[in-house]
């Protein structure tokens, strides 16, 4: 995914790599299967939930907590990092 990092100007997230490797180029980004699409959507929903929770803490003048790490959300939903 070295070329992807060059395109982005930074290393890609796990979600970006997954989407790039699980979508069909000629079908305008259509996922190769519904399971892949559902997983990516689940990650997006969880990140959005965490962002909303953070915004609510800020609005209540509480500490926002640590920054949201999409790769950490990914690992959590995937059941942790796999070796190999």
Question: Could you list the pLDDT tens digit for every one of the 84 residues in the chain?
Answer: 555 566 778 888 888 888 889 998 877 779 999 999 999 999 999 999 999 999 999 999 999 989 999 989 998 998 877 655
pTM of the model: 0.76
Is 62:53 a contact under the CB 8 Å cutoff? no
Q: Which of 25, 24, 16, 23 is nearest to 47 (CA)?
A: 16
Helices 14-21 and 34-59: angle between axes, nearest 10 degrees: 160
Of 3, 20, 80, 75, nearest to 43 by C-alpha is 75
């Amino acid at each position: 995914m070295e070329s992807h990092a060059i395109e982005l100007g930074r290393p890609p997230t796990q979600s970006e790599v997954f989407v790039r490797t699980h979508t069909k180029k000629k079908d305008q980004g259509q996922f190769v299967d519904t399971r892949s699409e559902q997983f990516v959507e689940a990650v997006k929903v969880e990140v959005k939930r965490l962002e909303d929770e953070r915004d609510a803490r800020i609005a209540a003048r509480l500490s926002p907590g640590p920054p949201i790490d999409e790769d950490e959300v990914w690992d959590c939903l995937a059941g942790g990092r796999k070796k190999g």
